[in-house]
């Protein structure tokens, strides 16, 4: 019997569902009644995998309902699905077509099912994202304040900056309460901050953005953060290795941690200097330090051991 793969396209009001290889398609409303109908119909077909596209939060309720019914679920990257659709020659874009493409993507790629984050994990992720947004707004307003000449506009910018600077400690306090109030998160944070160059901010970013930390191999975790280099090669031509994709907020946070580690972490400082002595550009060496930092932190959580210089 052929394995069953299901693709679900999420919109604000309804869910479009496509079943492979039977080609069955249907739609349900994105409310309690519709989700009950969806779960009942999915249980009948007994799918090998259900794939749902991440759509900025609209998928959360449906994903939680599917995971709560103990059905195999994978939340897939929209960019990967669109590239897959282009490879199939699917130029048209409608909700039923998208559901079919997602189902065929699941059938071809077979992404690994992963548990849906619980409510506390989602809250932590949203708070960390909000903190990042506030910092970005402060930086943007300060840049505008440097360029503006009108006094009234400058005063407006300063008022906005002061408001944002007052909001930042409030968000930090909420994050601290959430992390320190959870024994599991508190234990992980206490392990991570033993690494010279990692402070509470990075530790909490990793807890929120990389819940897989400690459960993947070093290659998998580097790829997840977009720090695994890949080579471009064709015939005799060999291009430069580059990094791309992954979780950009994690990569940015690890890059800042690498700048700190090459000053205060003796092991990574020596590693960085060896790379420079071997002729590596500074940016390449920093990315290597960021990748090594992530893999060490992954091993620390996996083995439940504090940082050891040896």
pLDDT surpasses 70 at 1? no
Indicate the average pLDDT of the chain.
86
Q: Mention every residue, 6+ apart, whose C-beta is less than 8 A from residue 272.
A: 262, 285, 286, 288, 289
Which helix (DSSP H) or strand (DSSP E) does residue 180 occupy? Answer: helix 151-180
Q: Which DSSP letter does residue 210 get?
A: -
pLDDT surpasses 80 at 124? yes
Concatenated DSSP letters of 43-88: HHH--SEEEEE--TTTHHHHHHHHHHTT--EEEEPHHHHHHHHHHH
**pLDDT one-digit tens code per residue, 19-37:** 988 888 888 888 888 888 8
Instruction: Tell me what pLDDT residue 241 has.
Output: 66
pTM value > 0.75 = no
Nearest to 3 by CA among 26, 24, 21: 21
pLDDT band at 277 (very low <50, low <70, confident <90, very high): very high
Instruction: Tell me what pLDDT residue 239 has.
Output: 62
């Amino acid at each position: 019997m052929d394995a069953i793969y299901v693709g679900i396209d999420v919109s604000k009001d309804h869910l479009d569902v496509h079943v492979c290889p039977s080609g069955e398609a249907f739609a349900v409303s994105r409310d309690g009644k519709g989700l009950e109908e969806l779960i009942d119909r999915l249980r009948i077909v007994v799918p090998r995998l259900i794939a749902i596209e991440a759509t900025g939060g609209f998928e959360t309720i449906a994903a939680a309902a599917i995971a709560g019914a103990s059905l195999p679920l994978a939340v897939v990257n929209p960019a990967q699905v669109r590239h897959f659709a282009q490879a199939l020659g699917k130029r048209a874009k409608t909700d039923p077509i998208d559901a079919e493409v997602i189902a065929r993507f699941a059938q071809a790629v077979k992404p690994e099912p992963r548990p849906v984050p619980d409510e506390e994990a989602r809250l932590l992720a949203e708070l960390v994202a909000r903190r990042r947004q506030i910092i970005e707004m402060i930086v943007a307003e300060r840049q505008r304040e440097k360029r503006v000449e009108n006094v009234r506009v400058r005063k407006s910018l300063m008022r906005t900056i002061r408001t944002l600077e007052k909001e930042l400690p409030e968000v930090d306090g909420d994050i601290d309460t959430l992390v320190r109030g959870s024994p599991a998160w508190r234990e992980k944070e206490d392990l991570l901050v033993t690494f010279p160059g990692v402070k509470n901010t990075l530790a909490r970013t990793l807890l929120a953005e990389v819940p897989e930390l400690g459960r993947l191999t070093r290659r998998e975790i580097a790829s997840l953060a977009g720090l695994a280099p890949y080579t471009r090669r064709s015939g005799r031509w060999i291009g430069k290795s580059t990094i791309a994709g992954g979780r950009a907020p994690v990569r940015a946070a690890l890059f800042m941690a690498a700048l700190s580690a090459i000053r205060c972490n003796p092991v990574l400082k020596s590693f960085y200097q060896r790379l420079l002595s071997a002729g590596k550009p500074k940016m390449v060496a920093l990315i290597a330090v960021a990748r090594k930092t992530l893999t060490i932190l992954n091993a620390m959580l996996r083995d439940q051991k504090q940082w050891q210089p040896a």
